[in-house]
Amino acid sequence: MELRRRVVDFVEEGHKHRAAAAQFRVSIKFVNDMVILKRTTGPLEAKKQGNGGGHGKLSGVADWIGRRIREKRDLTLDELVVELRDV
C-alpha cells in the first residue's frame, strides 16, 4: 500500500508516469494502473482475487487428485497431468 500511495503522490505532484516508474523501479503499467485506480475508485487497496467460491478449473477433480496423490506418494506433476487427461 505504501508503494502505491507514494507512486500516485509522485505523479500528482506533477511528475510524468515514466519518471515515477524509474523513481520507484516499477513498470509504467503499474503507475498507469495505480493512477487510474485512484481516479476511479479513490482507495488504492488491491481488489479481491478470485471468485471466493472455490470453483476453480480443477474443483471437479479435486477429490480424485487427492486420492491419487495418497495412493502414489511419489507421483510427479507431469505424471498427474497425463493421468488427468483420461479422467
CA distance 16 to 23: 11
Contact 44, 38 (CB under 8 A): yes
Any domain includes 20: yes
Q: Does 51 fall in a domain? A: no
SS (H, E, C) 16-57: CHHHHHHHHCCCHHHHHHHHHHHHHHCCCCCCCCCCCCCCCC
Is 62 in the same domain as 33?
A: no
The number of folded domains in the chain is: 2
Residue 25 one-letter amino acid: R
pLDDT (tens digit per residue) in 50-67: 666 667 788 888 899 999
Q: What does the pLDDT read at residue 47?
A: 75
Is residue 46 a contact partner of residue 59, using CB atoms and an 8 Å limit?
A: no
Tens of pLDDT, residue by residue over 16-54, are 999 999 999 999 999 999 999 999 988 888 777 766 666
Domain interval for residue 33: 2-41
Provide mean pLDDT across the span 67-86: 92
